[in-house]
Structure 1
């Protein structure tokens, strides 16, 4: 056995056996709340994995600030890798230009670097919390599997926003995307920027779909929940049919049907939904954004 294969096997064994320690008993109960929206049935985590191992790709949609979601993503990656079906991981948090910085360097070598060096080599952007995503990045690198940037560069996104030209989309999809963008910016986005923001959102969806298509099955994309929607997100531009898995916050006593976004077509917004506890937020993100906008 070659050294790389040996290291990968050891990493798989360590991660698979460590998974129970990633969640508390209460979180384990929440992990069983998986809904197949296509069939209208509840799934155990084992049944969920049985669905995912057959998929060409899996699009996992998260709330970026929810640690439960980050833990579940690492659990999913470990489980798919342990079954020998993980073809690689695409991250919204990395772009194509960043990928060029580390492409070709063996992941097991990168995984041994200190945080400061690894972030520098990846060109990691401060807008993404390294404490939240660093463990996932190291996990994929330790497995020796492809790690790909799915996003566009900041410069490319800025250029699209400034053109303010609406992309070619079915009107029902464009309408839902606009609403998601408005809500995502707490209703504070100037109307003059809306079409440009829509163009950037769709271009990012297409870029992530293209990155997924270059990986063997089962490829996993980790992205924000709007990108993961089956009816308006990456799945519209990806083929063959990926499975969309939404990680959705559900508070105690809350009706699970009330927390799902409304689909723009006859199908569900996600193929599968994994309900999790909400993140503990010490401030209202919209209040903080309003304060920044109001500041001179």
Structure 2
């Protein structure tokens, strides 16, 4: 599905998830196009912590100062200019953060997503274990994402971290849906968190089934099997070093 066709489909939704491969600039250009066309009431960023929302409000028109205020250089995320272009494309949108800090991710690894989330975890389905088939599939996904270099004993904890991140994105999207103004909520996140079957859309649907959702993925190669999105496209891959070499 082209970006233009996806935007047309997204106009009927209350919450729109647009996935990305984080270091692909073409994917961020498409996300900015969504922001420009939809005039969202709020934009949720996986990359921004909730406590960074005040910094965005204070410095959103000054990308250099905002990047410094968010300590972006040490965040591990790619070029801030790509993300700021999305913010600039919707100047009236509230900017909401859903980043999970390392300490909270470690808590999910050891104690589970529900305990790390805290109050309200049940609303997003974190109090229920995944079905065995889903657990196995998600562990396999984590193994592949980490170049099959993780010890098998770590995989269940990694799945709990992903569940926590999905729920935090859903929580922020729900908060955005209650913000004043018109327009949908736009969620900027990695493709995995945008999956309708078990990602943030599933967590949001559990908490607020009345909301209409739309999810769009951006890949660098065509998938081998049907994928759990409402639409997707394939772009040229970004130039990068082999990530598995660094992990090794």
TM-score, structure 1 normalization: 0.68
The answer to whether 1:88 aligns with 2:54 is no
Question: Equivalents in 1 of 2:199, 2:130: separation in Å?
Answer: 11
The one-character-per-residue Cα deviations of 1:45-102 (angstroms, maximum 9, x if unpaired) are: 4432221111111111111111111111111111112xxxx12110111122333x43
Alignment of 1:1-296 (within 5 A): 34=1, 45-81=3-39, 86-99=40-53, 101-102=54-55, 105=57, 110-113=59-62, 115=64, 117-124=65-72, 125-131=74-80, 133-136=82-85, 138-139=87-88, 143-163=91-111, 168-216=129-177, 217-239=183-205, 240-250=211-221, 256=222, 259-260=223-224, 262=225, 268-281=227-240, 283-290=241-248
Question: Equivalents in 1 of 2:83, 2:230: separation in Å?
Answer: 28
Q: How well do the aligned residues superpose, as a CA RMSD in angstroms? A: 2.4
Question: Equivalents in 1 of 2:80, 2:71: separation in Å?
Answer: 15
Question: Equivalents in 2 of 1:165, 1:50: separation in Å?
Answer: 35
2:121 maps to which residue? none
Question: Equivalents in 2 of 1:45, 1:284: separation in Å?
Answer: 28
The one-character-per-residue Cα deviations of 1:180-230 (angstroms, maximum 9, x if unpaired) are: 111111111122221111111101101100110111341111111111111
Native 8 Å contact 1:70 1:132 kept in 2: no
Native 8 Å contact 1:97 1:153 kept in 2: no
Superposition deviation, residue 234 in structure 1: 0.8
Unmatched runs of 5 consecutive residues or more in structure 2: 115-125, 178-182, 206-210
Structure number with the bigger relative contact order (C-alpha 8 A, sep ≥ 6) is 2
Question: Equivalents in 2 of 1:52, 1:69: separation in Å?
Answer: 17
Superposition deviation, residue 232 in structure 1: 1.8
State the number of aligned residues: 224
Superposition deviation, residue 127 in structure 1: 0.3
Superposition deviation, residue 134 in structure 1: 4.1
Unmatched runs of 5 consecutive residues or more in structure 1: 1-33, 35-43, 251-255, 291-296
